[in-house]
Amino acid sequence: MISFVDAGIGRILAALDRLGIADDTIVVFTTDHGHFLGQHGLIAKGAFHYEDLIRIPMIVRAAGVPAGLRVAGLQSLVDLAPTFLSAAGLDVPLWMQGVDQRPVWTGATESVRDHVFVENRHQPTRVHLRTYVEERYKITIHRDQPYGELFDLADDPGEHRNRFDDPAYASVRAGLMERLVNAEVARERSPYPRIADA
List the pLDDT tens digit at each of the 198 positions of the chain.
Answer: 889 989 999 999 999 999 999 999 999 998 887 776 667 666 677 778 888 877 888 899 999 999 999 998 999 999 999 999 999 999 999 888 899 999 999 999 999 999 999 887 766 667 788 999 999 999 999 888 899 999 999 999 999 999 999 999 999 999 999 999 998 888 777 667 667 765
| pTM: predicted TM-score of the whole model, two decimal places | 0.83
Whole-number pLDDT of residue 171: 98
**Nearest alpha-carbon partner for 58 in 72, 43, 39:** 72
Distance CA 80, CA 77 (A): 6
Q: Which residues pair with 131 in a beta bridge?
A: 118, 140
Whole-number pLDDT of residue 51: 81
Going from the C-alpha of 16 to that of each of 48, 88, 105, 125, the distances in angstroms are 38, 17, 20, 42
List CB contacts of 101: < 8 A, sequence separation 6 or more.
75, 79, 80, 83, 112
Domains recognised in the chain with CATH numbers? 73-113 (no CATH), 114-198 (3.30.1120.10)
How many residues would you count in the chain?
198
Whole-number pLDDT of residue 128: 82
